[in-house]
Amino acid sequence: MEIFCPNCKTKALPENINIQTDLGKCGKCGSIFKVSDVNFSQEIISSQPPMGSKIEMYEGVRDSYEFYYPPSGFQPIMLPVIIFMIFWLGFVAFWTIAALTMAGGWFAAFSLPFWLVGGGFVISIFNSMYQSETISLDRYKILIEKKRPFLSTHSEVYLDEIVSIELKNTKMTPSTMMRNSKSVTNTNGNHPKLNSPALITGAKTEFFFTGASDAEREWITLFLQENVKRFKSGH
């Protein structure tokens, strides 16, 4: 039978368990707990990402954690979008050159919105391929940083501002669709959606790790839930 620390969820070593006194000690956080009070039937949240996960986890001093999710790179699902983008930009370029040749600059200016749409395709594809995410957690705040070729973001939230951290349905954008197509759900013919980890405050909802697998998204959500709850309670 495996016994896990109720405080930090780390597996307790046999030499730190005394069945006679009904006491156990966690070798990681030092908590003392009653063995009989441990609910063995409850789901145990692993202190490490799922096996084979792309999530890179680093533990710092004073109960600080950092989670890094690398860029996804090229995915086969991106190929139709890339082909369509090339066709779109090629057609707009042909139309613009023809307009300049036949009618002058004022008529060619009508192509500007189509160039903007094409630029949006380029930005979406490059962001999907090269976006990396870093989450930093300590006893006071969570930092969510998304590094992209275009429009990188940085969000800082103090723990007392957090209402909840949970898996929440989010509409699929072309970027998230390309990064994670396997977990897309379609409800009653509506827009496809994805259950993505979300940090919810009174002012906003911040989604993160949308390109991760189902197991990775579930694990990071549960890990952050438990540790934010632990930090808020002062443990």
pLDDT at 201: 94
Tell me what pLDDT residue 146 has.
96
**Which amino acid is located at 14 in the chain?**
P
Instruction: Please give the pLDDT value at position 186.
Output: 46
pLDDT for res 94: 94
Q: What CATH code is assigned to 45-72+131-232?
A: 2.30.29
What integer pLDDT is reported at residue 27 of this predicted model?
86
Question: What is the 8-class DSSP label of residue 55?
Answer: -
The residues of the chain scoring below 70 in pLDDT are 1-2, 19-20, 38-46, 171-193
Find out whether 173 and 223 touch, Cβ atoms under 8 Å.
no
- Output the pLDDT for position 42: 44
- The amino acid occupying position 170 is T
Residue 46 class from Cβ within 10 Å (0-12 exposed, 13-18 middle, 19+ buried)? middle
The domain limits of the chain are 1-44, 45-72+131-232, 78-128
Dist. CA 137–CA 211, nearest whole Å: 20
How confident is the model at residue 2, as a pLDDT? 61
